[in-house]
Amino acid sequence: MSGDRDFAGVRCPHCASEALTMVSLFGSSVSEVMFRCGQCRTVFNWVKWRGTLPPTPTVPDRPS
């Protein structure tokens, strides 16, 4: 998914398309983000937890 580094490389689990729209930052559980696939039109959940922390003076801005 373009434009948002947090969702780089997310693909539809059904058709592998990357043409996605993020529907909700919180999906059917706290650990999931909800996307809609522009190709096959299904809605799916994507598991978060990539280890990204918010910025703080004790941690570098973002792990790359």
Using CB under 8 A, which of 2, 5, 57, 63 touches other proteins? Answer: 57
49: contact with other proteins by CB under 8 A: yes
Least distance in angstroms from the C-beta of 16 to other proteins: 10
For residues 8 and 50, give the distance between their C-alpha atoms in angstroms, rounded to a whole number. 11
For residues 45 and 27, give the distance between their C-alpha atoms in angstroms, rounded to a whole number. 6
For residues 55 and 62, give the distance between their C-alpha atoms in angstroms, rounded to a whole number. 7
20: contact with Zn ion by CB under 5 A: no
Interface residues with other proteins (CB under 8 A)?
6, 10-14, 23-27, 29-35, 42-59
